[in-house]
Each structure stands twice: as structure tokens, then as C-alpha cells.
Chains A and B, each alone.
Chain A
Amino acid sequence: MPATAVDVTPHPDLTADGIVAVATAQRDAWRAIALSTEAVDRAATEETVLRLYTEALPEAAPPQIIWCRSPLEAARLVVAEPDRLGAPARDRIRDLTWSLGRARLAERLGPREFGRVWQAACGDIAPLMSTLIARISTAVEEQTAETDAAARTALRVALTHAVHGQFDAAWLPLYEAAGMASGLGRMARAAGWWWPFENAVILTERPLALRLDDQDRLHHGDGPALVYPDGFAVYSWRGTPLTEEFGQRLATTTPETIRAEENAELRRMMVEHYTPERFLKDSGAQPLQQDEAGKLWRIEMGQDESIVMVEVVNSSPEPDGTFNVYFLRVPPSTQTAKAGVAWTFGLTEDEYQPLQQT
């Protein structure tokens, strides 16, 4: 493989600490690449992929380029048109760089240092990348009826030929920091998933939206957490997969739909999305109890645990002289507002005695 030898050989001057330093400096940039929802520059991507083909398969004719709007559209095309695409080429275009690069880097650093350097370069982002790849793959399969086992298997096989583009941020930060895999790095920056075959390459758009919560879980209550330009969508609440039907229903939650939902877990998602505070106000609830700490509110939820909240007033005034009111959800067993506020700080009602509050 003379053309890509440079791409799989660690830069001779780099030490383990040197690689860690470069990777650390690039961490935020790689996260932005991985989570990018920018529209793809098709011309630039095509140029990049053709260059990669020339390097990896110098003898072959340039592949035909096919654009798809999502991994679903691409996987279906892979299943539908095997003759047009030719044999899969991921092994030569991507896997060889991955495995040779890994072997040479491990040889250079030794097994212990390799582990440390890998963790420093990719450890933060790799779990998120594998979760996203798995969620998208499952969603692609689930677009076909469960009863059609043969069609699902065909899609699963098609997915094994994909290169994950931006989600290759699970390992490329290490390779690039070591001076390797530059062509695949350019592709990660250029587009979404792509499928290299001998006669053709399928390139796909990036998602239009990719929404995570503060713990890096796919999460959105007002529509899909992940959606591609053709409408292929993944619904998710704090990482829990939702059906499209419930995902759409969640977006239009009302106090009535919350009360009508029979599944406790789904009902809790609906309450959290609507916010317990709004649910309480819109349900015509009355405060149960009041003391110097605030007001205690409660809504009975039938078989499920009650929603209990304390309404507290901020001790420091806003710039306009008014005082902000906010609600904190507390355990259902809470009897007084003061006990509720004490619980929020891990104390009992008797223990909670602030000398000064601002």
C-alpha cells in the first residue's frame, strides 16, 4: 500500500505525551465535528472521497458518486442495487488504515502507554459515538416490519459496510494526533455516513438536528432528537428510545393527555416535559401547607406516586425589585414546605436552620 503508507505510520518524532497534548488541544474541535448538523458541501466531499479512492485503490477507475439524505436511504440502496455498487470496499478504504495504524501505534507506544494515550485522546467521546451509531443502526432496521426477518437481516448486513464519517470521532482524534489517517479525518469533517464500494460510493448528508441532554444522552421532547433531511428520525427521552407515535404525542402534551396516559414511565416523561410546575398550575391545584420556607403543593396521580413541590421565593430581589418564585420537586412523602426545602439540601426539617439567606 505505498500510497497510504504515510497515513498508517505514526509521526517519528511524537512521544506518548506529545500525542496526548495534541489530542487534548483538539478535543473540543473533534466534538464539534462529531455533533455537526451543518449542511454538507457536496463538491468538496466528492473531491475528498475521490482522493481517498486514488490513494487506497490506485489501479481502480474512479467510483460513481451517489448522494443519499440519510443512513436509512443509503442502507436501502445498498440492499436494492448490489450490481450497480460492486463489491464492498470498506476493508481497503477504511479498515486497513484503522488496523495497520492501530498496530503500528501500539508497537511504538507499547501496550500500557497505548491504552493511556487512547483513553486521553478518545475516551470522552467514544461511548457517545458508539451509542449514536447503535441507535441509528437500530432505527434503520426498525423502519422495516419485525415480521420481515429477511429484509431486516439484509439491512443489518448493509450497515456493516458503512463508514461512520463524523462519528469516527471515536478513534480518529488519536490517529490524527499521531499524524495518521488524514484522508479519513477529512471525510469525518466533510459528511455523514458513507458506503465505499468498488464501482460506486454512497455519501450521505449530516443530520439536520442532533440533540443531547446535559449527560450526553439523545434527548428532546418537542420532536425527534435526531433527524435527517429525508425525515428519517430517532425519538429519545434522556437516552430512552421512544416510538415515533409517542415521540410525537410527547411534543403535544397537555394536563389531559398526562392523566389519560396509562403507562407510568411514559406519564413521568410527559410530566417532566410539560414541567411539574405548569402541570400543577394548569390542574387547578391548591397549596396544601405554607410556612416561612414557602408553599407546599401536591397533585395526586392515581396509581402512580403523587407530584409534590415546594414553591419558594428567591431571597435576593431581581434588578426591577421583584422577587422570583420557583418550584422544586421533592419526595412524595414531604409534609411541610420547610421539610421540602431541607430535603433539597440533604437535611431534615429540624436540621435546616439558615442564619442568613441571600
Chain B
Amino acid sequence: MYRQGDVLIVPVTESAVPQDVRAAGPKNRRPRESMILALGESTGHAHALVATRDEGDFYPAPAESDPAFVFLPLGGKVVHEEHGTIPLPEGWFKVVRQREYEPRALRSFRVVAD
């Protein structure tokens, strides 16, 4: 697994992708458009995934607290303005946003955004 700031990218088997995520289908993107894994709330900086030869699919998270999924048949790399670039091998990945604990009376957790 790979970590870039508040995003964790975990290699998974294709069978680990939930049915509802697969059924919803990948997000449409224009050619050469990078896949935004997470956007920083204050800085506007993004964890963006660039697929090798533009071959790849991004399956958005159904809800903010759920993971998203990515398929990279030729691998790719994750880039961010404030973090080092991480090369990724080919395959399926689960993308987990970092969360923070909050006492139950207020909210159970919230997503961290750098």
C-alpha cells in the first residue's frame, strides 16, 4: 500500500471491488484528464492520479466515508503539489481518505483534507 498525505492507496484484487461500485460504473473523464482522488478543502491542492498512456478508470466513492476504486491496466502515478510523486504498478486499487475521530455525541468521524 502507498500513502500520500491523507490518502492511502491499497492494491486489491478485482473481486474486492464492491458490486454497487462496479455497477455504478467509472466516472467519465476527458482524454488526458487526471483522476482527482481527493481535494484539499483549504488549499485547493489535489491528490491526482495520472494513468500510464491515459489507460485507467476511476470509480468514485458512493459516500464520503467509503473508499473509491481505481483500475490501472498499465500502472500510473499519484501526484500532489505538496507531496512526492508515488509510482503505482498495474492493477486495481482501493483509495481510502484519512478520517479523524470525533466523540459520538457530535459526529462519529470526519474526513481529513490537506
Contacts and interface: CB of A to CB of B under 8 A. Distances in A.
A355 B101 contact: no
B2 A329 contact: no
A193 B4 CA distance: 48
Contacts of A308: 101
B49 interface: no
Interface in A299-358: 305, 308, 314-316, 328-331, 343-347, 352-358
B24 interface: no
Given A305-B103, A353-B1, A345 B98 contact: yes
A352 B39 CA distance: 23
Contacts, number: 70
Q: Which of A264, A328, A355, A358 has the most CB of B within 10 A?
A: A358
A328 B105 contact: no
A214 interface: yes
A268 interface: yes
Contact of A316 (B5, B100, B103): B5
A344 B100 contact: yes
Interface string B86-114: 10000000001011111101110000100
Interface residues of A, number: 28
A358 B102 CA distance: 26
B110 to A, nearest CB: 9
A337 B4 CA distance: 18
B69 to A, nearest CB: 14
A238 interface: yes
Interface in B20-75: 41, 67
A336 to B, nearest CB: 15
Given A328-B98, A354-B2, A355-B1, A268 B106 contact: yes
B84 interface: yes
A271 to B, nearest CB: 8
Contacts of A330: 100-101
A18 B97 CA distance: 38
A272 interface: yes
Given A345-B96, A358-B84, A265 B1 contact: no
B101 A331 contact: yes
6 contacts: A305-B103, A329-B101, A345-B99, A346-B99, A355-B2, A358-B84
Given A214-B41, A330-B100, A358-B5, 6 more contacts: A268-B106, A314-B5, A316-B82, A329-B100, A330-B101, A356-B2
Interface of B: 1-5, 8, 41, 67, 80, 82-86, 96, 98-103, 105-107, 112
